[in-house]
Amino acid sequence: MILVTGGAGFIGANFVLDWLAQGDEAVVNLDLLTYAGNLENLQSLDGHPRHLLVQGDIGNRELVAPLLAQHQPRAVLHFAAESHVDRSIHGPGDFIQTNIVGTFHLLEAVRGYWQALSPARQAAFRFLHVSTDEVFGSLDAEASAFTEQHPIVPNSPYSASKAASDHLVRAWHHTYGLPTLTTHCSNNYGPFHFPEKLIPLLIVNALAGKPLPVYGDGLQVRDWLYVKDHCSALRCILQAGSPGQTYNIGGNNEKTNLEIVHTVCALLDLLRPRADARPYSSQITHVTDRPGHDRRYAIDAGKLARDLGWQPAETFDTGIRQTVQWYLDHPDWVAHVQSGAYRDWVQKQYRSD
Ligand code: NAD
Ligand code: DAU
């Protein structure tokens, strides 16, 4: 069996659902259920015999050490994190606590467990750390995409906290021999994406007749990957990656934010036209830019293709269409995530615009 942290969040939940659907290995899912953890993401697993959800903090060694000893996982996949850049600007403390201190405690609990395994099980064990392309900082328009050798130069409290956790993972491999794998993925999108992030925010705001907020000139570039392709890359790296290595994950889909907004609007015009027949793009509103906003991310995933043979299954066109359709097909999920706490966040982040 495997242990997943953060498996009630956006990517973690997609990973757990795909894992259980595609194999017969069980999952222990350790999640604190913060505002970003959503049990409705896992509703289809109610009563599933191979899924055990444990509500708890990755930083609580008194919880994590016995959990590892009891379930004896062959791998730990570490998704749990504070993940939203804008929240890290408003309040970096939680990011330091979970992403850095929490990862440290998790690594220590895993090291204690791993050191007690037999040599054969030690050699087969993997700690897969799910990180982000944001640790590489911002690219100029003409610069080559990030390779694994790109300097680590994070610019936001979020990316700095993820970079710090990457360094801890690297050191636990180098010093203690823990068989780690670290991944740097570009922007994900797809089902269960919390609507504080750009693409789901656009969909839910468009449908509600609200403004579609574009930070600054909207010409910042992100490199988008359908979440299920991220999950397939993680399964591939878990199975065949070399301990101590880092792998970039991306789908060669660089888009400006304005391109994203217009694509989402055009799909909604087609799939759910406004009652007054006006285009959803009429709701686009330029708002104050994010402080320290990184201009461009782009991932070179050539190492993963060359060494492990991974390729994404979706193009941006197929992935974004499925995503918009998923939100249209799940109005209850959308209504429930927009709870009181969500409304407080929207009020705080967008109030001056
Ligand atoms: P998310 O915010 O949707 O989910 C995070 C999950 O972690 C939630 O379920 C939350 O309850 C849980 N969690 C938070 N603090 C915890 C703690 N102390 N102990 C246990 N659980 C805790 O995040 P996501 O978008 O699914 O991202 C998952 C991982 O992937 C993160 O590490 C993130 O840095 C990384 N990543 C995300 C993207 C992206 O585009 N979303 C891209 C690349 C990498
Ligand atoms: O690159 C990987 C990262 O992608 C992950 O590590 C992060 O966890 C994830 O949140 C994401 O970070 P971004 O900051 O790129 O994603 P976000 O959806 O917040 O913003 C995408 C772009 O859209 C970014 O340039 C900011 C812009 N934006 C965002 C919001 C929420 C807007 O213009 N308006 C908005 O309202």
Q: Domains in the chain, please, with CATH?
A: 2-192+226-252+295-314 (3.40.50.720)
Take residue 3 and report the two structure tokens written for it: 């242990």
Count of other CB atoms within 10 angstroms of residue 269: 16
If you take atom 36 of ligand 2, which residue's CA is the nearest one?
A: 213
Take residue 271 and report the two structure tokens written for it: 């799939």
Residue-wise pLDDT tens digits, 256-303: 999 999 999 999 999 999 999 999 999 999 999 999 999 999 999 999
Is 134 among the catalytic positions?
Answer: yes
Test site for ligand 1: of 14, 17, 34, 78, most ligand atoms within 8 A of the Cβ: 34
CB–CB of 79/5 below 8 Å? Answer: yes
Q: Quick one: which H or E segment has residue 331?
A: helix 331-337
Residue-wise pLDDT tens digits, 231-245: 999 999 999 999 999
Angstrom distance (rounded) from CA 248 to CA 300: 7
Angstrom distance (rounded) from CA 66 to CA 234: 26
Is 133 among the catalytic positions?
Answer: yes
C-beta 77 within 6 A of ligand 1: no
If you take atom 36 of ligand 1, which residue's CA is the nearest one?
A: 132
Instruction: State the catalytic residue, choosing from 31, 82, 113, 158.
Output: 158
* 118 Cα: distance to centroid of ligand 1 (angstroms): 31
Instruction: State the catalytic residue, choosing from 134, 166, 254, 314.
Output: 134
Q: Counting beta carbons within 10 angstroms of the beta carbon of residue 29, is it exposed (0 to 12), middle (13 to 18) or buried (19 or more)?
A: buried
Q: What share of the chain is helix, strand, coil (3-state, %, to 5)?
A: 50, 15, 35
Q: Which ligand is nearest to the CA of 8?
A: 1
Angle, CA 85 vertex, CA 248 and CA 142 arms, to 5°: 50
Answer whether residue 353 shows pLDDT above 70.
no
Angstrom distance (rounded) from CA 86 to CA 195: 13
* 257 Cα: distance to centroid of ligand 2 (angstroms): 9
Angstrom distance (rounded) from CA 286 to CA 1: 48
* 4 Cα: distance to centroid of ligand 2 (angstroms): 24
Mean pLDDT of the chain: 97
Q: For residue 12, is it left (φ>0), alpha (ψ between -120 and 50) or beta?
A: alpha
Residue-wise pLDDT tens digits, 176-230: 999 999 999 999 999 999 999 999 999 999 999 999 999 999 999 999 999 999 9
Angstrom distance (rounded) from CA 83 to CA 132: 10
User: Which of the four pLDDT bands, split at 50, 70 and 90, describes residue 55?
Assistant: very high
